Structure 1
């Protein structure tokens, strides 16, 4: 935390603590400061502001050049004439250059490949089994945790109180603990600690808390993915990153529920996990094909399997009786223009690309699939607003990651 004189505060800085005047909240911790904020603070007589330290110094030219060469292959399939996409590329290069200055070694092309194991066995050969066959095979051996449906039942009851909802959520100690950690994280930035579920329901809302519970419950479902197929910590880090970006973007788009978008981001690749369980050999071959040919993973899946993880997700979520809106958003984020929920699916598409872009600096290995041109106008996102989105993400992600994985 760094204390800065109001005259030295610059737009883009991030508040490290809640800014109050007496008992009145002016701006919560985690907010990205704007010229308007700074002007208001001056009129209110604020003299000192606590901000998040800038951290590393800017990367040197050599590191930027190396990062530029490495990152550009991951942006082969995007619109290079789009200034927002190019700002996304700049973010990826900058973060990667900082990692290089810290001593991170870029993986070689060979190191990026996984080895397909000879003892992997798919449920079907290509063109033999359908998407529904794959999903039905999964449902025969496992069912979704019923805590979510218990929560949903009480939320849907118009007579339920915050106490009723909290009581049902509290039936799962692990889930309620994680929910409280999430509510107290920078994702919300409440000025004081929320120490019980009743207050969490009152502040966030029953349906919103239920949506968060759904996302957290689903993480617990997928615990038996073979580690030789995928590092689950890395998988969930990408998913969590997508969730944070989705919520940050949703907060600036009218008519969109941020909690739903966070959960959609968290679960956007859930179809891949079903493939790992039922079609492991083909799933690995699709990964190899995507990396070897530098094409988006979703396109590699279409080539290798004849379908992709978004289609698997739709079938699975429908059979699990997920909320239809959430199912629609998750399963259409690679083609938001065809979705019944264009705005929400567009947010998830942007968030997924941003998660892949910042993930390059952490060893991410998949080409960005790109963002439909009309999505930027639909969401009213330009290069400057994208910068603010990334700044908010940077402030939130470390603590939220610890909430999930420590």
Structure 2
């Protein structure tokens, strides 16, 4: 399993410099305003609902999530204020990220063989597998889906602001068969887990999502309370790579962390069933 490369001071400085501009590039005004309101400890549901109402598709998404089977409410919720209260601030943040993530993944060619859509395909597959695995383990499925979707958030940002360095990293990994994060660190001074974690922290996302972006390659290094979700995404990451879905050069070894498997009480048979369900779901999606 690849180890997380340590980030030197220059790498940390580079990330800080990137993050001063990337938020304005990647998130729409409504999302930025909601994040700003949420950061205020005195914020009210009324303030949030007023801003959410300015984005009709976001209103629909919020109400759809609250009225889904996951919440199991006895009657339909039609009030936006009530929906936001049920979601909580963390739940609202997750919806915002899921709604806006496609905008973080620009189109176009990265190398002769890898396109931006391949990164997005991989993230979608990891999200799908994470949801399947979470359901099997009795964890919250929507949270696992969002965690899988954003696990390579750092790669998506590198495509925007350090595309040449990302391209050289991908080419070197393909040519020399070196570890992706080691090559990435040499090219950038940091890696995608460093960058993803820093952006999640800047956006004040829930701690479990921060942990997933930071530790999906080494889930047992995550804080204890976040190891289950980090483990779910780690396994899903490997399953997507094993099945050749999108670009999976970031994954390195296709071997699952045996400690993570034991931690989640999973055996190879259970993993194979999840893998089969993942393939079936993606085939039906077309």
**For this structure pair, what is the TM-score category when the shorter chain's length is used for normalisation?**
0.7 to 0.9
Equivalent in the alignment of 2:124: 240
Q: How far apart are residue 205 of structure 1 and its match?
A: 4.1
Partner of 1:337: helix, strand, or coil?
helix
Distance 2:57 2:17 in 1: 28
1:393 equivalent among 257, 264, 278: 278
For structure 2, the residue ranges without an aligned partner over 5 or more in a row are 3-7
Structure number having the greater helix percentage: 2
Equivalent in the alignment of 2:18: 137
Equivalent in the alignment of 2:158: 275
Say what the alpha-carbon RMSD is for the aligned residues: 4.0
Distance 2:116 2:218 in 1: 26
* Conservation of the 8 A alpha-carbon contact between 1:215 and 1:263: yes
Summarize the Cα distance change of 1:197–1:328 in structure 2 as closer, same or farther, 3 Å threshold. farther
1:214 equivalent among 73, 93, 97: 97
Distance 1:364 1:321 in 2: 28
- TM-score for the superposition, normalised by structure 2: 0.72
* Conservation of the 8 A alpha-carbon contact between 2:105 and 2:120: no
1:352 equivalent among 233, 237, 245: 237
Equivalent in the alignment of 1:336: 219
Distance 1:344 1:179 in 2: 23
* Conservation of the 8 A alpha-carbon contact between 2:126 and 2:236: yes
Q: Which has the larger radius of gyration?
A: 1
For structure 1, the residue ranges without an aligned partner over 5 or more in a row are 1-76, 79-126
Distance 1:227 1:174 in 2: 30
* Conservation of the 8 A alpha-carbon contact between 1:334 and 1:349: yes
Summarize the Cα distance change of 1:253–1:383 in structure 2 as closer, same or farther, 3 Å threshold. same
**Paired residues for 1:159-178 under 5 Å:** 160=45, 168-176=51-59
Partner of 2:28: helix, strand, or coil?
coil
Distance 1:218 1:172 in 2: 16
- TM-score for the superposition, normalised by structure 1: 0.53
* Conservation of the 8 A alpha-carbon contact between 1:166 and 1:197: no
Equivalent in the alignment of 1:289: 172
1:326 equivalenced with 2:215 (yes/no) = no
Distance 1:184 1:232 in 2: 33
Summarize the Cα distance change of 1:389–1:289 in structure 2 as closer, same or farther, 3 Å threshold. same
Alignment size in residue pairs: 265
